[in-house]
Amino acid sequence: MKIPKPMLFLITKPDLDTKVKISSVSYINSLPFIYGLENDSNILNLIDLQKDIPSVCADKLINHKVDIGLIPLAEISKIKNAKIISNYCIGSCGKVETVSLFSQVPVKEIKRVYLDFHSRTSVQLLKILFKHYWKMNPEYILSENGFEEKISANTAGLIIGDRTFRYNSKFEYVFDLSEEWMNFTKLPFVFAVWVSFKDLPEEFLNKFNNALAFGLSNKHLVISNYIKKNPDTKIDIENYLNTRINYYLDPEKKRGMDKFLSLLKSI
């Protein structure tokens, strides 16, 4: 009897070029979104998820290196055919804790300000507040690594992201920009939205938004996982994710977006 030759199966890696490339902000405030995208089996094999600081998220989408980005609000105008593809966002209804102006003197005595290179929306928000709310025109200084140590006397500094928690007790004055925006406009602030420059299939967009919702519904797991990985953290992550960050792009936040984008034209 003739013995048949064994069949050979060629195992290949999936081609990432066929996947939808996504750039998400890598900060703590985005962990629920990341959890959803990494743990929802309905979308996991359809995407190539990348984690970046906000300014890099924007650059990648502007240069078409990704298909979707969690984009700083101020960058949308730079993206041709930009489409907001989700009713989820990174927003805050008052104090946010992770976007602050740090200073050793009251705001009226500030002469110079270092601008955090991680951000663009927060930089523009700060300039709007100085011009329209505080009625001041300080000198703005582009920053680089280590600029936080140069904050002294009449020179303040804008710091964003997770590292702000390290500086809250190191300076005499901390001005939370989202809280100041609420004082100024009586509106919430939107820091970042999910944007694409291309038309994506409705079926994929439904899966994408379901994955984000899945992550938000499991914030308790996100919080416990973070604490397990960072047992010595001084960050009250439960309070931060549950009360400081608001993830729903509701009508009030859209009003806040419109107000910001309108004022953006004046600076």
113-146 confidence digits (pLDDT tens): 999 988 789 999 999 999 999 999 999 998 878 7
Domains 17-93+188-250 and 99-185 in one fold: yes
Reply yes or no on domain 99-185 having CATH 3.40.640.10: no
CATH of domain 17-93+188-250: 3.40.190.10
pLDDT per residue over 146-200, tens digit each?
A: 788 899 999 999 999 888 898 888 899 999 999 999 999 999 999 999 999 999 9
Q: Which two tokens stand for residue 133?
A: 């709310």
Domain residue limits, the chain: 17-93+188-250, 99-185
d(CA 33, CA 209): 10
d(CA 180, CA 19): 41
- pTM comes to 0.88
d(CA 119, CA 210): 28
